[in-house]
Chain A
Amino acid sequence: MTSSAVPALETRGLTIRFGGHVAVDNVSCQFTPGTLTAIVGPNGAGKTTFFNLVSGQLRATAGRILVEGEDITSLAPSARAKRGLGRAFQLTNLFPDLTALENVRLAVQSRAEAGWSLFKVWTSRRDLIAKAEEVLERVRLSDKRHIAPKALSHGDQRKLEVALLIAMEPKVFMFDEPTAGMSVDEVPTVLDLIQDIKHQGQATVLLVEHKMDVVRSLADRIVVLHNGALVADGEPAKVIASPVVQEAYLGLEAANG
Chain B
Amino acid sequence: MSRSPAPALTVDRDRASGSVLTGLLSSDLPRSKVLTVVLLAILLMLATTPFVFSGSQPLSTAAKICVFIVLVASYDLLLGYTGIVSFAHTMFFGIGGYGIAIASERLGATWTSVAVGLGTALCLSALLAVAIGLLSLRVRAIFFSMITLAVASAMAVLASQLSTITGGEDGLSFQLPYELRPAFRLLSEPVFGVAVNGRLIAYYILFFATLLTFLLLLRIVNSPFGRVLQAIRENEFRAEALGYRVVAYRTAASVLSALAATMAGALMALWLRYNGPDTTLSFSIMIDILLMVVIGGMGTMYGSVIGAALFVLAQSYLQVLMDAASKALAGVPVLPDLVHPDRWLLWLGALFVISVYAFPGGIVGRLRQAEQ
Contact = CB atoms under 8 A, between A and B. Distances in A.
A238 interface: no
A226 B226 CA distance: 44
A77 B240 contact: yes
Given A129-B11, A146-B4, A114 B224 contact: yes
Contact of B9 (A55, A81, A146): A146
Contacts of B26: 121
B296 to A, nearest CB: 19
A125 B8 CA distance: 12
| Interface size band for A | 35 or more
Given A82-B243, A94-B238, A106-B228, A117 B8 contact: no
Interface in B172-220: 219-220
B225 interface: yes
B244 interface: yes
Interface stretch (B110-118, B229-237, B262-270, B285-293): B229-237
B242 A107 contact: yes
A101 B228 CA distance: 14
Interface in A101-134: 101-102, 105-107, 109-111, 114-123, 125-126, 128-129, 133
A123 B10 contact: yes
Interface string B1-29: 00010111111001000000001001100
B240 A95 contact: no
B14 A123 contact: yes
A114 B14 CA distance: 20
Interface string A236-252: 00000000000000000
B249 interface: yes
Interface in A28-80: 55, 57, 76-79
B235 A119 contact: no
Nearest to A112: B224
A254 interface: no
A208 to B, nearest CB: 16
A97 interface: yes
A106 B231 contact: yes
B229 to A, nearest CB: 10
A145 interface: yes
A115 B7 contact: no
A164 interface: yes
A115 B241 contact: no
Nearest to A82: B243
A7 interface: no
Nearest to B8: A101
A116 B246 CA distance: 12
Contact of A78 (B9, B226, B244): B244
Given A95-B234, A96-B234, A145-B8, A120 B240 contact: no
Given A96-B235, A119-B219, A121-B26, A57 B227 contact: no
Which of A78, A98, A123 counts the most chain B CB atoms within 10 A? A123
B8 A93 contact: no
Given A95-B234, A98-B230, A99-B7, A117 B241 contact: no
Interface of A: 55, 57, 76-79, 81-82, 87, 89, 93-99, 101-102, 105-107, 109-111, 114-123, 125-126, 128-129, 133, 145-146, 164, 168
Interface of B: 4, 6-11, 14, 23, 26-27, 219-220, 222-228, 230-231, 234-235, 237-246, 249
A-B complex: 6 closest residue pairs judged by Cβ atoms: A81-B243, A146-B6, A95-B234, A110-B243, A78-B245, A117-B224
